[in-house]
Amino acid sequence: MISWSTDALRPHERFEHWREVRGRHLAGVTMDVERERQASFRGAFSSLAVGGALFSEIRSSAYDVTRTAADIGRVSSDSLRIAHLVAGPGWCETPAGRVYLGVGTIATSHTDLPFAIRQRPGVEMHVRLLRIPLEGKGRLARLVRDYHTTVLTPDGRFARLLRAAFMSLAEEAAALGTGEAEQSVAHLARLVLLSRGSVRAGEPESRAAVRDACLKAALRLIRNNLARQDLGVDTLARALGISVRQMHVVFEPTASTCQATITAMRIAEVRRQLLAAPGRSVTDIAFACGFDSLSTFYRAFRRVDDTTPGDYRQTALELAGG
């Protein structure tokens, strides 16, 4: 991983360095900010190669950025870009029209098409980017090279899946093996094509990408909703817009069932809370983690750890205390 920030520079040098080194020479863009805000500018970025693509994260004071024909001619990257705007709303002008970039949105585009992004002054910007090179990727390259910046429609069929797949890659990129990373990047590219209507959902590559993204989306929903006692196969299927049968198929590669996965993740959270809050009762923790009865909880816990929650807590705390 490569990381860098402006903190080591003197205040009056920060934006100039950011503009010339990170902007003009590395990203091939033109950056600008009002002169009176340059002295307070701060920025940090990191980049990590993952699956033949480049994942980057940028946090900085707000600034405007333009990619002109001259910029493209000077620094061409010929890549599919997926961007997740975590913070710092603004809008993007392209030859195809204006696009509003709201917090939380995911936008896709080809890197070598002109654009101009204007951010709201005075806000902090945080964006995650995945750049997938198109060299040697014939069909993908042909389809992507006319992609001006477009934001995913929140209720679009593939929006939730693309978001889940992107978030998963962002969180796990550093730990992925080469083959898994390459597959994740390929699936993301296919989901972009699906979201743009450029390929058919029935193609084998599309089905594989959708299944993988459904699994990642389901796991994220489980992690974020463990406290819900109604969390189950039915609720997950409804949230993802698929059938219960399809949800069972989604979990087949895990060698576990959907319900068993929910229970395992609940038990893992119970374990964490037992140690993080030694004074909290086992009953409170069990219900807070979504178990609807103590008998169900104790059976599930003993099946996994072959002990009671109280004994597990006591033993773990004694070992931690030496």
Q: Measured over all CA atoms, what is the biggest interatomic distance in the chain, rounded to whole angstroms?
A: 69
pLDDT class of 142 with cuts at 50, 70, 90:
very high
pLDDT in tens, 167-205: 999 999 889 999 999 999 999 999 999 999 999 999 999
pLDDT in tens, 99-130: 999 999 999 999 999 999 999 888 899 999 99
Say if residue 314 is exposed, middle or buried (CB neighbours under 10 Å; 0-12, 13-18, 19+).
middle
Residues of the chain with CATH 1.10.10.60: 267-320
Nearest to 63 by CA among 149, 7, 127, 109: 127
Asked whether 240 and 218 are in contact (CB, 8 A), the reply is yes
pLDDT class of 312 with cuts at 50, 70, 90:
very high
Mean pLDDT value across residues 288-303: 95
Mean pLDDT value across residues 10-27: 93
Nearest to 122 by CA among 62, 65, 164, 179: 62
Residue 74 has pLDDT above 70, yes or no: yes
Tell me the CATH architecture of domain 1-151: Sandwich (2.60)
Q: What's the CATH class of domain 267-320?
A: mainly alpha
Mean pLDDT value across residues 146-167: 89
Residue 278 has pLDDT above 90, yes or no: yes
pLDDT in tens, 239-272: 888 999 999 999 999 999 999 999 999 999 999 9
pLDDT at residue 153 in the model? 83
- Percent of the chain topping pLDDT 90: 88
pLDDT at residue 322 in the model? 55
C-alpha span between 211 and 246 (Å, rounded): 9
Residue 68 has pLDDT above 70, yes or no: yes
> Token pair of 70, please?
């001259």
pLDDT at residue 122 in the model? 81
Residues of the chain with CATH 2.60.120.10: 1-151
pTM to 2 decimal places: 0.88
pLDDT class of 320 with cuts at 50, 70, 90:
confident
Please give the mean pLDDT across all residues of the chain.
94
Say if residue 172 is exposed, middle or buried (CB neighbours under 10 Å; 0-12, 13-18, 19+).
middle
Mean pLDDT value across residues 128-152: 96
Residue ranges of alpha helices (H) inside 150-232 are: 159-172, 178-195, 204-224
